[in-house]
Amino acid sequence: MPYPKGHKERVRNSILESARRLFNRRGYEAVSIDDVMENAGLTRGGFYSYFKSKGELYAEAVAYVLVSHPARNWPGIDFDLTSDPARKIVNAYLSDRHFDDVEASCPLVTQASDAARGDRQVQDAYRRVLEHMAAVFMRSTREREKRTETGLAVAALCVGGLALARGVGDRNLADRIRKASRIAALELGNWQ
Amino acid sequence: MPYPKGHKERVRNSILESARRLFNRRGYEAVSIDDVMENAGLTRGGFYSYFKSKGELYAEAVAYVLVSHPARNWPGIDFDLTSDPARKIVNAYLSDRHFDDVEASCPLVTQASDAARGDRQVQDAYRRVLEHMAAVFMRSTREREKRTETGLAVAALCVGGLALARGVGDRNLADRIRKASRIAALELGNWQ
DNA sequence: TGTACATCAGTGAACGCGCGTTCACTGATGTAC
DNA sequence: TGTACATCAGTGAACGCGCGTTCACTGATGTAC
């Protein structure tokens, strides 16, 4: 065992973190394995002793947000979530900070189109991230029989609002989209 | 003038239609100019007498949904929109038909990630499509001072709902997302 | 009405380049003595 | 404590391939006579 225990896992995680950021910024097709490895401080040849293919790396990178920074999955949320979590997450999700920090963004926004075109592996990862997010909203919904509905709709509103804001290329309109989405999301969940 | 008048414009439109469908299905990077031209019944060499670059084609293809099928921009809406347009559009947008027909899909969903990463040209096109959609919702909102807010939030909910549904790769969950988004959108606009 | 011709839409080979993936090799490391 | 060695993480050249773009050419067309 010529290398310290845990070495392989640490390097693997640094590749995933590098991939997560690059895929967020440029999307699946525009990121090369060279880019990912160089960004992680390695060279391309080593890649295939960590992952079977680029597709497998992509799926793991999408889900990596769930295991990498549990306390700050989204920029702006590194504070206490024990009280009022839904309201705080809606606000943070549609905040300036999350809007601007694309590399650290929630993959539900940045990878929406690529996930829709992806294989089972990516879509499973994508679904797990959504379920994680929607579950918070569901738990914060008072009316029992509307929990699933509200959780999914609020998630759709947050993801759609940020996606549209990032796409229109007009800061003023982007801010109005985010503000409108935030207000509507809090209204839907009764979290004003 | 060795070719019939209007010939160039007809061919140009057929290239745009071909591009629109391919970009919807595979995204910007995964579609080649060869693919677009072959799909339009031409060969690659001719491309540059119609468009300056792949980027320009992409921007025009995103906006092309506004000029190509004015009466049926989205699958499911080839019916009368003079009464109750907002409710009909929300229902059609989140319908099975729109969910399944990715090639004819609204580009706000399929191109969300690529538009966010695109240049000014694409983002302008993306913004124009959004404004077109949001305007319908705004006009259908009774309370004057909430028009902009409601229009943008409902658009975000429709786009986000369909994007998430397409990404999770689980038909059952996808249907629940669309249903929850539809109900919430109609509630937000008071169009039940 | 019929033909010769100028036009230009469309062709397809070619360019330099970067991709995903493979593989024989190197050299830093922990372990055995 | 010090050294020889087996291991295996990481290297970088090489593979076949398809990309966006350019360009000299072809041949179908409307027009002039």
Confidence band for B160, pLDDT divided at 50, 70 and 90: very high
Q: Return chain B residues 7..46 having CB < 7 Å to nucleic acid strand C.
A: 7-8, 11, 37, 42-46
Q: What is the mean pLDDT of residues B1-8?
A: 79
Closest CA to B102 of B161, B13, B170, B166: B166
Percent of chain B with pLDDT over 70: 94
Is the Cβ–Cβ distance between B146 and A118 less than 8 Å? no
pLDDT digits (tens, 9 = 90+) for B30-65: 999 999 999 999 999 999 999 999 999 999 999 999
pTM more than 0.85:
yes
Q: What is the mean pLDDT of residues B111-121?
A: 98
**For A43 and D5, how far is CA from C1' in angstroms?**
27
From the list B25, B102, B123, the residue facing A169 with the nearest CB is: B123
Q: Would you call B179 an interface residue with chain A, using a CB distance cutoff of 8 Å?
A: yes
Asked if residue B152 has pLDDT above 60, the reply is yes
The owner of tokens 């990516």 is: A122
**For A72 and C10, how far is CA from C1' in angstroms?**
56
From the list A111, A126, A184, the residue facing B113 with the nearest CB is: A111
Chain B, window 137-176: residues with a beta carbon less than 8 angstroms from a chain A beta carbon: 148-161, 163-164, 166-170, 173, 176
**For A45 and C22, how far is CA from C1' in angstroms?**
9
Closest residue (CA) to C1' of nucleotide D10 is A46
Cβ neighbours of residue A53 closer than 8 Å, sequence gap 6 or more: none
Each residue's pLDDT expressed in tens, for chain A with a length of 192 residues: 677 878 999 999 999 999 999 999 999 999 999 999 999 999 999 999 999 999 999 999 999 999 886 445 555 555 677 788 999 999 999 999 999 999 999 999 999 999 999 999 999 999 999 999 999 999 999 998 899 999 999 999 999 999 999 999 999 999 999 999 999 999 999 998
Asked if residue B71 has pLDDT above 70, the reply is no
- Closest residue of B to A150, CA-based? B180
B176 contacts A164? CB cut-off 8 A: no
Q: What is the mean pLDDT of residues B147-161?
A: 97
Nucleotide nearest to A15 (CA to C1'): D10
Q: Is the dihedral of CA B131, B133, B137, B139 positive or negative?
A: positive
Is the Cβ–Cβ distance between A93 and A69 less than 8 Å? no
**Pairwise CA distance, residues A69 & A132, whole Å:** 14
pLDDT digits (tens, 9 = 90+) for B127-149: 999 999 999 999 999 998 899 99
| Alpha-carbon Rg for chain B in angstroms | 18
**Pairwise CA distance, residues A10 & A17, whole Å:** 11
Q: Taking CB atoms and an 8 Å cutoff, what residues of chain A touch B181? A: 152-153, 156
Helical segments of chain B, H only? 7-26, 33-39, 54-63, 65-68, 85-93, 96-100, 107-110, 112-117, 120-139, 147-167, 171-189
State the pLDDT at residue A72. 59
Confidence band for B81, pLDDT divided at 50, 70 and 90: confident
State the pLDDT at residue B54. 98
Chain A, window 29-58: residues with a beta carbon less than 8 angstroms from a chain B beta carbon: 29-30
State the pLDDT at residue A78. 57
